[in-house]
Amino acid sequence: MIKSIVFDLNGVILDSSTHRMDEEMVDLLRYLSDTDFKLHLFSNTSKQAINILDAKYDFLKYFHNVILVEDTGLSKPSDASFENLLKVTGEAGEEMVYIDDGKDNLRQAERYGMIAIPFVDADRLRISLASLDI
């Protein structure tokens, strides 16, 4: 049973080409935060950059956990970073959906039993999540 949804920041919630938040993704986070699923942010982005974005877009409030390489010293897609993700969330990989635009990160998530969804855009993500009854 899926309990959590894990999001990358760059290329998923943050449009890497414009360095702006994807408003459709923020809307999706808002919607998902009102469900029974726990949301987690798992990113190699710096804490300073995330705090600047949060001051403008107020999006961190939607996440149960914010797991950053800067805090842990463990960057994706290392085994240690994914093991830490499981430890922090207290959940098994099979209980998680993992959303990222990086192929190596997605492969690693699958190795840990997560359902990995490659991010293309918010509309396709909604379709993928709906296929999982989310």
User: Which pLDDT score, from 0 to 100, does residue 17 have?
Assistant: 85
Residue with more model confidence, 17 or 22? 22
Average pLDDT value for residue range 110-123: 98
User: Which pLDDT score, from 0 to 100, does residue 19 have?
Assistant: 84
User: Which pLDDT score, from 0 to 100, does residue 101 have?
Assistant: 97
How many CA atoms are closer than 13 Å to the CA of 57, on its beta-carbon side?
Answer: 22
pTM, two decimal places: 0.96
* Domain range 4-131, CATH class: alpha beta
User: Which pLDDT score, from 0 to 100, does residue 18 have?
Assistant: 87
What pairs with residue 42 in β-bridges? 67
**How much is the mean pLDDT over the chain?**
96
Taking only the tens place, the pLDDT of each residue in 59-106 is: 999 999 999 988 999 999 999 999 999 999 999 999 999 999 999 999
User: Which pLDDT score, from 0 to 100, does residue 123 have?
Assistant: 97
| Other Cβ atoms within 10 Å of 35 Cβ, number | 10
Average pLDDT value for residue range 53-64: 96
Count the residues in the chain.
134
Q: Where do the H-state alpha helices sit in the chain? A: 23-33, 47-57, 69-72, 79-89, 103-111, 122-131
Give residue limits of the domains in the chain. 4-131
Contacts of 52 (CB under 8 A, 6+ apart): none
User: Which pLDDT score, from 0 to 100, does residue 34 have?
Assistant: 96
